Chain A
């Protein structure tokens, strides 16, 4: 079955960086676009970024454009989110999600806390 296993969250100071990973299994990773979505404490879901199956195109929400970078390694079936210049308002649970419009499988979520 499809599994998306996330890693890399934690506590970071404002202005710092963090990289999240999402290891995929149970499907042909290289055939699917992938998203990152986040959820601030007690809030709703916010789409952040999308990468096409071959990594050729990437799209970002205005809230993270220029600070976050999505990437993938299809040889390792892994999705990444590099987060730089982190702010307090980036504190959230981050999810990787499978599929261009499908959103049929979600990672378990990883908590990122930006605090001094």
Chain B
């Protein structure tokens, strides 16, 4: 199984400051079709997860451009350029070939 490891697991951030979450996979996520199926999700308390980023760096419709995804192979990062209050919640990375999720990173306002 492909293991997805996120860090940090807890992320206190001051409003307006940047934030970064790392996601590492136990093996390369480059699929046989050449794509890398690495998604990022945000889950607010009591809500369903919402996809933010797909295939490493593609932002979903309606996702603010302060969110960006990057990485390749086994190392991936989600960055928020300036954290806003609505960004609190848990962030998950997920590899989309054999489907496994990271443990989640809880972002809170300091």
Residues of A within 8 A of B (CB): 35, 44-47, 50, 95, 100-104, 106-109
Contact = CB atoms under 8 A, between A and B. Distances in A.
Interface stretch (B16-24, B47-55, B70-78, B81-89): B47-55
Interface of B: 37, 39, 41, 48-51, 54, 60, 90, 92, 94, 96-97, 99-104
Contacts of B99: 35, 47, 50
B48 A109 contact: yes
A108 B97 contact: no
Contacts of B60: 104
A102 B54 contact: yes
Given A101-B37, A102-B54, A44 B48 contact: no
A46 B39 CA distance: 15
B96 A103 contact: yes
A103 B48 contact: no
B81 to A, nearest CB: 23
A44 B49 contact: no
Contacts of A45: 41, 49, 92, 94, 101, 104
A103 B100 contact: no
Contacts of A101: 37, 39, 96-97
B39 A108 contact: no
A108 B37 CA distance: 24
A44 B101 contact: yes
A106 B39 CA distance: 14
Central interface residue in B99, B100, B103, by most chain A CB within 10 Å:
B99
Nearest to B37: A101
Nearest to B48: A106
